[in-house]
Structure 1
Amino acid sequence: MKLKDLLRLLSSEANLQILSLLSTKAMNPRELARLLNRDESDVSRRLKVLEKAGLVEGKWTRVDGKNVRVYSLKVEELKIRFNPGEIRLEGRVEEYSIPVGFEDQRPGVSVFVGREKEIEELRRRKEPVLVVYGIAGIGKTALVAKAFPRALWYHVSGEEEVEYFFWRAGMLLQSIGYGELLEYLRSGGREEKTLLDLLKKGIEKTGPTIVIDDLHRCNDENLFRVLRLLGRELKRGRIVITSRVKPPVGVEGVFYLKLSGLRPEEAYNLALLKRGSISPEEFAELYRITRGHPLALNLIFESAPRGKSWSRENFFEFLFEEVYSSLTESEKTLLGIMALFSKPLEYEALKWMYPNKGLFPALHSLLTRGLIERIGDGYTVHEIIRSFVREVSNVSPEEYYHSYADYLLEKDSPEAFLKAFKYTIKAGDQTRLRELTELRLRKFREVVVEFPKTYMKILQEAGDNPYIEAEKAEIEFQRGFFEKAEEIWIRVMDRIEGIQRANVLTFLVDLYLEKEEIEKAEKYLKESRELAKELDNPLVWLWYQIEETKYLYYSGRVEEALESAFKELEFARRAKANPDTEALVFLHIGDILLTLNKPEEALEYYTKAKEVSEAYGISFRANIAYFEMAKAYYRLKRFREASEFARKAVNYFIRIRNYRRAVDSMAYLAVSLIGLGALEEAEEISQEMVKIGQATGYPLSWAGYIFLGALKNLKGEDGRGYFRLGREHLREKPWLYEAILNSLGRVLDIEQFQETFKPENQDE
């Protein structure tokens, strides 16, 4: 590849984001697309070009009969050398770096004058949270972008709740090498204290400046509370906030800067830049009526006729009328479209909604006149004139909300789906909402667990619609409010049909199995089967089969459950289910085989789950597979392999703060280490289990006491005190106590400790 072509590749922000993410670990196109919020086909195309250029390396991995392409970074550092007669690309870049932010929303700052004092003040402040506030158009965003050119940028849209903020922050931090917050979220973790701890740890470890732009749009008190805590606790890194009003983010560790208009000398410099010259009288009158407001000045300089009298009762309305009257019809239409949306629209979205050939010159003209601004890859109308545009524009909101929703759905990502849902509701299309709920079931099931508050907030705006109500019930179910979910599903199920009804029926089976109401579960399982026959859809059959497997397993019909689990696998493949679902089915099969005391066969399916999960970068599922493999190896008395996989799982689950899974894995690591004779390490693990139990109360943690008792006895010491503590903590769970002893029985002769293991009172 020619040098200029390679440099052109490196000038693409999207390509730089891909390279930045691949510097953290190898990934497949699907995972990269998910993180970058881009089409998978677009990411795959870019990866192929980067591979051809020698920047990345792709390798095929064979997983369960399928080929999976995984990419890694091939060249970590490049250096451009200028020699007489040639330019060479080689060596290392040691001092200069291009800041690469994830989903970069940094605004472009083309013309900027003054504000030196404010910039200096912001840069020298030591507080971890800096707030710049002031009226619309006063220049808050431009000031912060100028003061912190390497900042990671987060633009508040007003749609999100606090969990959405954590997701975006996790993705930002992932892009600069810290992935623990994102891993915790992707594993299903939602505990706010843990989220805050991981966010704080990520900021302090990487030291970035994160800008939260337009915080005044936010109406979630939880986000303000998170920012107050960061102000008090952050030791490194900083959060910079812009807002029209002074936000309630506290005083401790927070610096507030109220931004006013430009000073006279700064405004005069702007006038010279824009007009070349201006008389003192004209400037004095102009400054008097604008008070140095940057947007007002720009509008006058770019659009208002020279020498015009600006003394009107409503300055901005007058000025905008003057500006608007000078626009072409194409420019008016484009401005009207953009005014419908409060969030920046990328160029591709504008092309989708405004396919006319004159898009680029119209966009350029609006930028030049100061009516719109560019933020990252998007364009937006200045807030201060948005309402005026909406009043005079004749564009149809419903038409363009529909069009934008179509564009978003083409992006094929959960976040884009949520936005498309919102704009479909804005368009007032109740019929299409049914189609979107079906699309959610087919492609974006994860939004219910990843963005429950945001999705619920969107659904609340949809009005009375049975398909929307069914979606709300699923959110309630995932949050653990079974009774509320049950009431909604029972109320609306006769008003919905098709794949949505199938989803409700299978969820009711799951709900009643959780509540141990087997007869009700059986009733809805039969209905689910009849509907699966009627629809004959592989995805519906898969849902049914998963519930049938659970029902048979809960009923003690384990052999039949195994047969059902294999049918799950068949339907998962016919439905072309996502890799996570296929890995989950492999785990189901392995669990049932292990229950049937077939550890070698179980290990085969656990290994398949591991391979699929690793190939597609599904870290949480991969580590569940490690834990299950440790369990199977332990049953086979292959303690070295058991300890290796258990240790991997322990390290991961501790890192993402999933202490329940961590303790499950620690239990098998401890007993495997005892089997290997590594008693010191086994003792450390057992003590760690007890510490987690003291912090969380998770029952299996108290197995640590029993393991410590056994280890004391193995050393010839008295372990009865530890056994006593273990029995006391597990008094209400005798079956768990027996299960722990049975597990120990694979590495110890229980008979030799029989008196110690027995309760002191045989009647207990």
Structure 2
Amino acid sequence: MDLRSLLRILSSEANLRILSLLSTRAMNPRELARLLNRDESDVSRRLRVLEKAGLVEGRWGRVGGKNVRMYSLKVDELKIRFNPGEIHVEGREEEYTLPLEEERPSVGVFVGREEEIEELQNRREAVLVVYGIAGIGKTTLVAKAFPRAFWHHVTGTEGVEHFFWRAGMFLQSLGRGELIEYLRTGGNDEKTILELLKEGVENTNATIAVDDLHQCNDEGFFRVLRFLARRMRRGKIVVTSRIKPPLGVEGVFYLRLRGLRPEEAYNLALLRKGSITPGEFAEAYRITKGHPLALNLLFESTARGEAWGRENFFEFLFEEVYRSLSEPERSLLGIMSLFNDPIEYEALKRLYPGRGLFPALHSLLNRGLVERIGEGYAVHDLVRSFARETSSLSPGDYYLSYADYLLEKDSPEAFLRAFRYVVRVNAAERFKELTGIRLRRFREVVVEFPKTYMKILQEAEDNPYIEAEKAEIEFQRGLFEKAEERWLRVKDALGGIQKANVLTFLADLYLEKEEIEKAREYLEESRKLAEELNEPLVWLWHVMEETKYLYFAGRIEEALESAFRELEFARKAKAGPDTEALVLLHIGDILGALKRNEEALRYYLDAKELCEAHNVSFRANITYFELAKSYYHLGRFEEASHFARNAAEYFLRVRNYRRAVDSLAYLVVSLIGLRALDEAEKEAREMVKIGQATRYPLSWAGYIFLGVIEVLRGKDGGKYFKLGKEHLKDKLWLYDAIMEELGKVIDLDKIPITSRS
């Protein structure tokens, strides 16, 4: 590839983000698309270009009867060397990382503010707040002071959970994936999330910019910032806001931004106008007080004299500038003023009628009426309301057109934005379509962004499809009674895939409540609808619940047969590696219940291969745990300890303490079986430590294990047995289960611990 083509590839910010993420580990196109919030087909195309350029390499693997392509970074550094008459490009193996820049605003004309930049860069506080009136230059100042910061723009429509996900993805790009892994596992404990966020920022020394905090209406965001201000020792959170936010004083520095100093304003005047008389500048500075946007608008206007002193100064200036706009510029400004969010260029091409988009947009940018935020463009806040007043456009059709554009981006975040615009137009006829899209393409929304999605749903008018979505969020939160009431109220008004979803959820709900007969009734209704719709995804939902029902009912052989049907429909529905791996685990679990451990092992290994090929970390480590159990029951303690250790380390890292303890328990008994007593003692003490922090019952097995270890060393383990029995006195069934497992690795008759008393 020639040098010109290579530089063109590297000039693409999207390509640089892909290379940045691949510098942390190998990934497949789907995962990259999710992290970058881009369409998977676009990411796949870019990967092929990067591969052809020799920057990445892709390898095919065969997993579960499917071809899987994984991409990894081929060169970690490129050097361009200039010699007389020739240019050489060299690549060699060295690590580097490049932060994501998705929402970073561009910095165009910038003058002055040297004192403020130096002040911000030298502060030791964890949270820096820049506040001041609209248009004063807060965002531009922070972007200039912290050019490598990761940006999060607050719109007021999403909850703090959206910030957690974006920060987690950013930290993963820097090699710290613990936060995003915890969120992907369904973790929602705020204290744990805050600790993982703090550790991620500290360990990477990252800077995160939170723009327009004044638009935030989620108290959780303020708790996050207060926590980081008090606890974070490295890294920075930089906030912009129109008002001074209530973050307290500990660990927070506040900078109130005022207008430009006279010499700075004069330099801006020269840049914008080329020349200005002392009298004109003095009058301009007097009435604007150095406000950057006001100065820009003033220099764009042609009026002079008494009109400068009008009471509604900004409105007057905008009117003057507006008169000088061409018709295409006015039309584009009117369309853009309908939106509070930044609008992508590709979307503007749809919304703007006719040709001439680029010159019109470029002119509005130069005039200061429009600003670029990341990959989008937005009308400046001070201008938007005036622009709306001068425009006769109705937002409805534009909102729906933009929603259609967002739905094509094929990401959960874009889906939520699209849904919000449809709700704003009150296009109730589209609610069925959107909820169907959610079920087929974005099922994870109710788990990953429950607060944001619920807020959008609550703004919609009463509608059975909206109510069913609310119920699913409540179900995922454990509010079974509320979910049940909503579903029962609206299920008969639903149709298609939405009704199928509700029926299978009701069956699951009644299985959880151990109301087996009710569960059977809804399963039967679900089966009839699956036959009617004949859609693989609907069949998959039905058969998964049927497997669970048969297992609960003690019909294990039938449950196994049903689980194999799950696998069939998962592949027909192209449900994705995570779902297919889950089904493989179901098969393995049922085979294990039938004491067919060798067969179970085969399906667990298939699930492991599938998860590792697609980097499905959480499911992979669930699989490691199941493999540890299988190997343990087969008496293969070496393999059991290996997989149990991997699972335990992962679950500890993502703060999933229940699963961590489950994994540690099999690790300790396997180590006891191997007579690796020092290692076993260390892990048993870790179990006790977790128990003291979480009170999770199985943690107290650590005391029993410590007692056994002492006895095997020829010592008295009585004090540990006593502690273990005391903690488990209300859970004798668990004590018996622990003893049963220990009986597989030691002779309990030689250890005086068999009595419950």
TM (normalized to structure 1)? 0.97
**For 1:100 and 1:695, how far apart are their aligned partners in 2?**
37
Partner of 2:425: 427
1:296 is displaced (CA, Å) by 1.1
Superposition map of 1:433-512 within 5 A: 433-512=431-510
**For 1:613 and 1:91, how far apart are their aligned partners in 2?**
32
Partner of 2:34: 34
Checking the alignment, whether the CA contact within 8 Å between 2:546 and 2:562 is kept in structure 1 is yes
CA offsets 1:127-169 (integer angstroms, 9 cap, x no match): 1111111111011111111111121111111111111111111
1:745 is displaced (CA, Å) by 1.6
Partner of 2:325: 327
Checking the alignment, whether the CA contact within 8 Å between 2:700 and 2:728 is kept in structure 1 is yes
Partner of 2:738: 740
**For 1:303 and 1:548, how far apart are their aligned partners in 2?**
71
SS at match of 1:138: coil
Partner of 2:175: 177
CA offsets 1:320-364 (integer angstroms, 9 cap, x no match): 112112222221121112112212122122123226321101101
1:650 is displaced (CA, Å) by 0.8
Superposition map of 1:515-594 within 5 A: 515-594=513-592
Checking the alignment, whether the CA contact within 8 Å between 1:404 and 1:420 is kept in structure 2 is yes
Residues 149, 735 of structure 1: CA spacing in aligned structure 2 closer, same or farther, 3 A cutoff?
same
- Worse-superposed segment, 374-383 or 36-45: 374-383
Partner of 2:80: 80
**For 1:459 and 1:321, how far apart are their aligned partners in 2?**
38
Checking the alignment, whether the CA contact within 8 Å between 1:333 and 1:395 is kept in structure 2 is no
**For 1:615 and 1:464, how far apart are their aligned partners in 2?**
44
Partner of 2:45: 45
CA offsets 1:588-640 (integer angstroms, 9 cap, x no match): 01000000001111011111111111111110000000100111111111111
**For 2:262 and 2:302, how far apart are their aligned partners in 1?**
20
1:124 is displaced (CA, Å) by 1.6
1:103 is displaced (CA, Å) by 4.7
Partner of 1:409: 407
SS at match of 1:310: helix
Checking the alignment, whether the CA contact within 8 Å between 2:536 and 2:573 is kept in structure 1 is yes
1:179 alignment partner AA: G
Task: Say which of 502, 511, 514 aligns to 2:512.
Answer: 514
SS at match of 2:77: coil
Aligned residues: 757
Partner of 1:64: 64
2:727 alignment partner AA: H
SS at match of 1:464: coil
Checking the alignment, whether the CA contact within 8 Å between 1:212 and 1:239 is kept in structure 2 is yes
2:82 alignment partner AA: F
Partner of 1:257: 255
1:720 is displaced (CA, Å) by 2.8
Partner of 1:749: 747
Checking the alignment, whether the CA contact within 8 Å between 1:304 and 1:319 is kept in structure 2 is no
1:271 is displaced (CA, Å) by 0.9
CA offsets 1:529-556 (integer angstroms, 9 cap, x no match): 1111221211111111111111111111
Task: Say which of 280, 283, 300 aligns to 1:282.
Answer: 280
CA offsets 1:201-223 (integer angstroms, 9 cap, x no match): 01111111111111111011111
1:757 alignment partner AA: T
**For 1:249 and 1:167, how far apart are their aligned partners in 2?**
22
Partner of 1:208: 206
**For 1:84 and 1:363, how far apart are their aligned partners in 2?**
42
Checking the alignment, whether the CA contact within 8 Å between 1:101 and 1:153 is kept in structure 2 is no
Checking the alignment, whether the CA contact within 8 Å between 2:105 and 2:374 is kept in structure 1 is yes
**For 1:657 and 1:482, how far apart are their aligned partners in 2?**
25
Residues 304, 598 of structure 1: CA spacing in aligned structure 2 closer, same or farther, 3 A cutoff?
farther
Partner of 1:611: 609
Partner of 1:633: 631
**For 1:94 and 1:600, how far apart are their aligned partners in 2?**
44
Say yes or no: does 1:718 pair with 2:716: yes
**For 2:59 and 2:176, how far apart are their aligned partners in 1?**
25
Partner of 2:755: 758
Say yes or no: does 1:304 pair with 2:302: yes
**For 1:208 and 1:454, how far apart are their aligned partners in 2?**
26
The CA RMSD measured in Å over matched residues stands at 1.5
Partner of 2:147: 149
Partner of 2:165: 167
**For 2:569 and 2:92, how far apart are their aligned partners in 1?**
51
1:648 is displaced (CA, Å) by 0.7
1:383 is displaced (CA, Å) by 0.3
2:122 alignment partner AA: R
Residues 245, 502 of structure 1: CA spacing in aligned structure 2 closer, same or farther, 3 A cutoff?
same
Checking the alignment, whether the CA contact within 8 Å between 1:302 and 1:368 is kept in structure 2 is no
**For 1:312 and 1:634, how far apart are their aligned partners in 2?**
83
**For 2:149 and 2:445, how far apart are their aligned partners in 1?**
28
SS at match of 2:130: strand
1:758 alignment partner AA: S
Checking the alignment, whether the CA contact within 8 Å between 2:464 and 2:490 is kept in structure 1 is yes
1:94 is displaced (CA, Å) by 8.7
SS at match of 1:67: strand
CA offsets 1:506-544 (integer angstroms, 9 cap, x no match): 111111111111121111111111111221211111111
Partner of 1:706: 704
**For 2:681 and 2:487, how far apart are their aligned partners in 1?**
50
1:724 is displaced (CA, Å) by 2.6
Partner of 2:5: 5
1:338 alignment partner AA: M
SS at match of 1:757: coil
Checking the alignment, whether the CA contact within 8 Å between 1:36 and 1:103 is kept in structure 2 is no
**For 1:759 and 1:632, how far apart are their aligned partners in 2?**
28
1:345 alignment partner AA: I
Checking the alignment, whether the CA contact within 8 Å between 1:64 and 1:608 is kept in structure 2 is yes
1:169 alignment partner AA: A
Task: Say which of 168, 178, 186 aligns to 2:184.
Answer: 186
Checking the alignment, whether the CA contact within 8 Å between 2:370 and 2:380 is kept in structure 1 is yes
**For 1:392 and 1:106, how far apart are their aligned partners in 2?**
30
Checking the alignment, whether the CA contact within 8 Å between 2:328 and 2:356 is kept in structure 1 is yes
1:305 is displaced (CA, Å) by 4.7
Checking the alignment, whether the CA contact within 8 Å between 2:76 and 2:94 is kept in structure 1 is no
**For 1:31 and 1:450, how far apart are their aligned partners in 2?**
16
1:731 is displaced (CA, Å) by 2.2
Checking the alignment, whether the CA contact within 8 Å between 1:469 and 1:488 is kept in structure 2 is yes
Checking the alignment, whether the CA contact within 8 Å between 1:627 and 1:649 is kept in structure 2 is yes
1:67 alignment partner AA: N
1:723 is displaced (CA, Å) by 2.2
1:91 is displaced (CA, Å) by 5.0
**For 2:715 and 2:154, how far apart are their aligned partners in 1?**
61
**For 2:639 and 2:336, how far apart are their aligned partners in 1?**
59
**For 1:479 and 1:195, how far apart are their aligned partners in 2?**
17
Unaligned ranges ≥5, structure 1: none
Residues 547, 103 of structure 1: CA spacing in aligned structure 2 closer, same or farther, 3 A cutoff?
farther
CA offsets 1:108-139 (integer angstroms, 9 cap, x no match): 11211111221121112111111111111011
Say yes or no: does 1:130 pair with 2:128: yes
Checking the alignment, whether the CA contact within 8 Å between 1:138 and 1:294 is kept in structure 2 is yes
Checking the alignment, whether the CA contact within 8 Å between 1:102 and 1:171 is kept in structure 2 is no
SS at match of 2:478: coil
SS at match of 1:250: coil
SS at match of 2:378: strand
Checking the alignment, whether the CA contact within 8 Å between 1:702 and 1:730 is kept in structure 2 is yes
Superposition map of 1:329-348 within 5 A: 329-348=327-346
Partner of 1:682: 680
**For 2:160 and 2:375, how far apart are their aligned partners in 1?**
24
TM (normalized to structure 2)? 0.98
1:304 is displaced (CA, Å) by 3.1
